[in-house]
Structure 1
Amino acid sequence: MDGTTGSLAGIRVIDLSRVLGGPYCTQILGDHGADVIKVEPPQGDETRAWGPPFENGSSSYFQGVNRNKRGIVLDLKREEARAMLLVMLESADVLVENFKPGTLEGWGLGPDILAARFPRLVHCRVSGFGADGPLGGLPGYDAAVQAMVGLMSINGPASGEPTRMGVPVVDLVTGLNAVVGILLALGERERSGRGQFVDIALYDCGLSILHPHLANFFMSGRTPARSGNAHPNISPYDSFATGDGEIFLAVGNDGQFAKFCALVGQPQLAGDPRFLTNGDRTVNRAALRAELETVLAPYGAAALADRLIRAGVPCGPVLSVPEAVAHPHTRHREMVVEMEGYRGTGAPVKLSRTPASYRRLPPAFGEHTDEVLAEIGAAPADK
């Protein structure tokens, strides 16, 4: 597939962002057909050095979020390079950047100036805290924001310390929200003919995913606490040991609980007054765990999980990353991309007529500089 049938074919994106939130956003746009031009400073996107592992001069971290982009180098501290950026924006639909608020403004390229010059441009800024307010303009990184918005406080063992989540969840959800914001603005542009500024802050995005802990706090006034793998509102919704590994039970209603009890040969548990309803089970979760640990001890995790889920009880074995990659359903859902020695994570959005496509490897540093500059009639020396 050449990308001309992607849902965003014909959309040009100038990507000035680095690290994760912005590049994750623009990779999604590129997967769905947009022409993404990634502009790196002379020192490169810092994630090229975030390793090991490394391959051909770039880290796995960089490779994981920068496919389907053309890569160029511009030193935007130079007036000549900024002039070239303005020429590029003449044919662009979207600008994505994550400069510290005030940086573009200091170069005479703030949102108001760009909006006046390019009225159809959708300008998406990813920042730590936004441009104003008590923390406005300050730098933000995923883990620090996890700490500040309360995510670490609800993550980890009940008896342990607040723990950073094992993936940069704030950066990733920020990238997703940036995609949503850009698509909303492009959709509205179809009616108004005008672009707009899309303001995406890590801080806001981190707070936005505190469900159900924030909702619980708003209703009860109680400070949410860490509960390990257990859910604060549902039981059994936790990992449990079996004879050869752990299984995660995600039992969401009373019918599923009754079915689970029957399938493991303990139908009487569903009629126990302590476990009749989800509310009962949540209040008596310690007693329920003691019962289930005994019940599950003779079973193998993989076989039991397969049997339960096929019978309608949500659950899964607790797998390692290599085991998850090797699972046949991962391949069936096309969640591993392989091309020319590259392996990456597939696009999770499956569109029936205009599916995602994988057309370009992550760019080598400055790989397409001459190509892109030639398209706008500029000389490489101007960069």
Structure 2
Amino acid sequence: MFNMFNNSAGDDTRSWGPPFVGDESAYFLSVNRNKKSVAVNLKDPRGAKIILELAGMCDVLVENYLPGKLDQMGLGYDDVHKAAPRLVYCSISGYGQTGPLSQRPGYDSIASAVSGMMHITGPEDGDPVRPGVAMTDLATGLYAHGAIMAALLQCHRTGRGVHIDCNLLSTQVACLTHIAANYLNAGKEARRWGTAHESIVPYQGFRTKDGYLVVAAGNDKQFVKVCKMLGLNHLSDEPKYKSNTLRVQHRQELLHILSQRFLEELTGEWLRRFEGTGVPCGPINNIQQVFSEPQVSPHSALAHTASESVSSETHPLLFVILIILNVNQYR
């Protein structure tokens, strides 16, 4: 995998720190595994020739220039397609290859704002909040990954590559899911709910004696179990809490009662009580606690790798897929 740069300084994220590991930012190292960094002057015809030669050796080209910029350098899709007809050419931009905003530069935070993601993120009575991780960037990468895999399959069957147009704004709008559906189908404007869920109660974080616990009662049976574990059995018998729809209508009153009860015990004690009940719950961990969690090890394995400037670096793998063999045959 080659990571091509149009300047000798390389990827901007190399300087996004502290923290640094050696001379490299931890940020840069986290998203550039298994890549060879190559600086090429794309404005020089000799540099463009190098890219075209590499394209003929590769299966996929991913670029994130403003639409039209690479065309000016002789490296647009049509140019590359002539040199490498089987190549899958994926363009990732802020707003897409066409449209009134297509020439605007885009970062994760900007797309998160324009798409409405920030509008629905944050405390109920507070300001909009940027998600703690670049979720729009990550989601766009996953959308691009899926499109590229499908394009490679098509190329395998037809012998022809394709041009994929993937962008931050469209990806994040697609990720609004039920929030978008609520507005498009019922005209319901969204708002911020903190850790709570707009349509399910109780389904949120509660402060405990020493931290926070998230409890999610996704149906009426689970709500009955929550009440039992809290020693508040009478709540599940009250008519106004009998169904989720009614609990949503009486949200404030019910949550006040539950919140007061959760404050009386330590997080660990609540986890012990809920264990085996079938009620989804978990602590709000800090990052140290995350990587001390035994369950993290088999499903998000840590990798120790090296780079030219760093002898050893540690980071979580993007994902670990466990394939379970099944004796059934599908035809």
In the alignment, the residues of structure 2 paired with residue 62 and residue 68 of structure 1 have an alpha-carbon distance, to the nearest angstrom, of 12
Contact 1:249–1:316 (Cα < 8 Å) also in 2: yes
Q: 1:342 aligns with which of 282, 296, 313?
A: 313
Alpha-carbon distance change, 150 to 43 in structure 1, aligned in 2, over 3 angstroms: same
- The 8 Å contact of residues 309 and 316 in structure 1, kept in 2 or not, is answered as no
SS of the equivalent of 2:66 reads coil
Residue number in structure 2 paired with 1:39: 4
**Residue of structure 2 equivalent to 1:59:** 25
Cα distance per residue 1:49-107 (max 9 Å; x no partner): 11111122210110001111222221212211111111111111000111111111001
Matches within 5 A, 1:218-367: 218-339=184-305, 341-352=312-323
Aligned to 2:328: none
The structural deviation recorded for 1:297 is 2.6
Give the deviation of 1:121 after TM superposition.
0.5
State the TM-score, normalized to the length of structure 1. Answer: 0.80
Unaligned segments of structure 2, at least 5 residues: 307-311, 325-331
Given that 1:306 and 1:316 are in contact with CA atoms closer than 8 Å, whether structure 2 keeps it comes out as no
Q: Percent identity?
A: 36
Which runs of 5 or more residues in structure 1 are unaligned? Answer: 1-35, 354-383
- What is the aligned partner in structure 2 of residue 141 from structure 1? 107
Match of 2:171 in 1: 205
| Distance in structure 2 (CA, Å) of the matches to 1:309 and 1:101 | 53
302-311 vs 243-252, which deviates more? 302-311
Distance 1:126 1:134 in 2: 17
The corresponding residue for 1:107 is 73
Matched residue of 1:316: which SS?
A: strand
Structure with greater contact order relative to length (CA < 8 Å, sep ≥ 6): 1
Structure 2 Cα separation of the partners of residues 306 and 132 of structure 1: 54
Matched residues in 2 for 1:335 and 1:290: separation?
40
Is contact 2:299-2:320 (8 Å) kept? no
What TM-score, normalized by structure 2, do the two folds share? 0.92
Cα distance between partner residues in 1 of 2:273 and 2:48: 61
| Residue type at the aligned position of 2:145 | V
- Partners of 1:217 and 1:85 in 2: CA distance: 45
1:118-152 Cα deviation digits (max 9, x unpaired): 11100011100112111112111111111111111
The whole-number CA distance in structure 2 between the counterparts of 1:228 and 1:351 is 33
Among 125, 129, 149, which residue is 1:159 paired with? 125
Aligned partners of 2:19 and 2:26 also within 8 Å: yes
What is the alpha-carbon distance in structure 1 between the residues aligned to residue 84 and residue 44 of structure 2?
A: 21
**In structure 2, what residue type is equivalent to 1:305?**
L
Superposed CA RMSD:
1.6
Residue 192, structure 1, aligned to residue 158, structure 2? yes
Is this contact kept in 2: 1:37–1:69, CA < 8 A?
yes
Secondary structure of 1:90's match? helix
Matched residue type, 1:350: I
CA distance in 2, matches of 1:157, 1:289: 15
Show structure 1 runs of 4+ deviating over 3 A. none
What amino acid sits opposite 1:196 in the alignment? Answer: V
Q: 2:47 aligned to 66, 81, 89, which one?
A: 81
